[in-house]
Amino acid sequence: MKALRRLSYVALVVAVTQIVFGAIVRISGSGMGCGNHWPKCYGRWFPPLDQPNLVIEWTHRMIAAALFVALATLVAAAYVNRREPMVGGRGGVLRAALLALAMWPAQALLGAITVWLGNVWYATAAHWLLAATLLAALAAAVMRAGGLGGACARRERTSARTARGAIAGAGIALVTICLGGVTATFPGANVACSAFPLCGVGLASAVVPDGRVIQMTHRVLALLLTLHVFGLLWGVWRRREGVVVLRAVAIAAALVVAQIGIAASMIALELPPVLRSLHQGTGALIWLTLFSAAYLARMASRATNEAAARATAGDAPAARALSPAPGAVR
């Protein structure tokens, strides 16, 4: 299981790198760095790296190839060890890894369509959504292998209420971040608001009024996400539930605060590419953290319910499992 955990971590890191680099491609305008050629770059697998946009786009494609290798390796290792506990069957590493691997061709095809369509906003947003889904499948594989707190979650106490709240938070985060991708690519939306947190007078608001609607909808959703995450954090702490879920929600809250600071700086400094890329990269990390918190809470909640069922049947060890874990907040 340790080997599978390491392999799943490697695949997750590569997937996160690809998403972050994808934001760099989008912000730098390098999406057409290889022209309308795919998968080759101007008809070559290894083109002359003499243009910045070409280098960025070609590197993004190489990271995608590295992700495929990492996913295939993880699936092969999980299949070989499929008879081990928590590897094969329902809830095992193999199924989550297979799901991630199955999404890779769809992600590659959507990337090709995005290039052929000239990086239109709706294709770019769909490309990001599928990338976020693949990231979630890999995070699930890591947690099933015991990483990211997965091993601890099965031993800690978490209520169904926390699990529902964490799932809702992950859902809000996904919608917010996808709309952020639309804001970055929809014509005029990224410059539609010149102030923060209110909109102000945008550079393109008179020409593309829809940009203001998209921009402000994204901000309202971000505000709702912030309130939800901090409410969830307070509830988990007050109910003295498992440390692993509390830690994940706390990290998400810290990332949300950092994201607000990045967004304010980005507007004040007139949208520098570095901050725009950092903004989208941080958004991806918020989604990953909240999805992990939801998955861990669900795992812990199921373990708590199973222990309660055994306790009702008169199983003393199960009854002891219902008490807060040694590492739980007191």
d(CA 13, CA 312): 42
pLDDT over 60 at 205, yes or no: no
Q: Is the CB of residue 85 less than 8 Å from the CB of residue 151?
A: no
- 123 lies in the same domain as 255: no
Whole-number pLDDT of residue 229: 96
pLDDT tens, position by position, 211-240: 788 888 899 999 999 999 999 999 999 988
Please give the mean pLDDT across all residues of the chain. Answer: 83
Question: Which amino acid type is present at position 180?
Answer: G
In terms of domains, do 186 and 327 share one? yes
Compute φ and ψ for 51, nearest 5 degrees.
-130, 130
Angle between helices 93-116 and 52-80 (to 10 degrees): 160
Together in a domain, 130 and 186: no
Per-residue pLDDT band for 299 (boundaries 50, 70, 90) equals confident
| Model pLDDT, residue 6 | 93
pLDDT at 107: 84
The number of residues making up the chain comes to 330
Domain endpoint, select from 128, 148, 168: 148
Q: Say if residue 204 is in the same domain as residue 113.
A: no
228 shares its domain with 84: no
Question: pLDDT digit string (tens) for 52-99?
Answer: 777 888 888 888 889 999 999 999 999 999 888 888 888 889 999 999
Domain range for 116 is 1-148
H helix or E strand, kind and range, residue 52: helix 52-80
Does residue 143 sit in the same domain as residue 186? no
Same domain, 292 and 223: yes
Q: Are residues 182 and 318 in the same domain?
A: yes
- Of 116, 148, 180, the residue at which a domain comes to its end is 148
Confidence (pLDDT) at 20? 83
> What is the number of domains present in the chain?
2
Confidence of residue 327 (pLDDT cuts 50, 70, 90): very low
Give the C-alpha separation, 130 to 148, whole Å: 22
Based on the fold, state whether residues 302 and 319 are members of the same structural domain.
Answer: yes
Look at residues 86, 120, 148 and tell me which one is the last residue of a structural domain.
148
| Cα dihedral sign, 271-276-278-284 | positive
Q: Does 323 lie in the same domain as 300?
A: yes
Distance CA 223, CA 235 (A): 18
Do 82 and 173 lie in one domain? The reply is no
93 with 44, same domain: the answer is: yes
Q: What pLDDT score was predicted for residue 29?
A: 67
The Cα-based distances of 140 to 94, 143, 148, 167, 190 in angstroms read 10, 5, 9, 14, 33
178-131-18 Cα angle (round to 5): 115
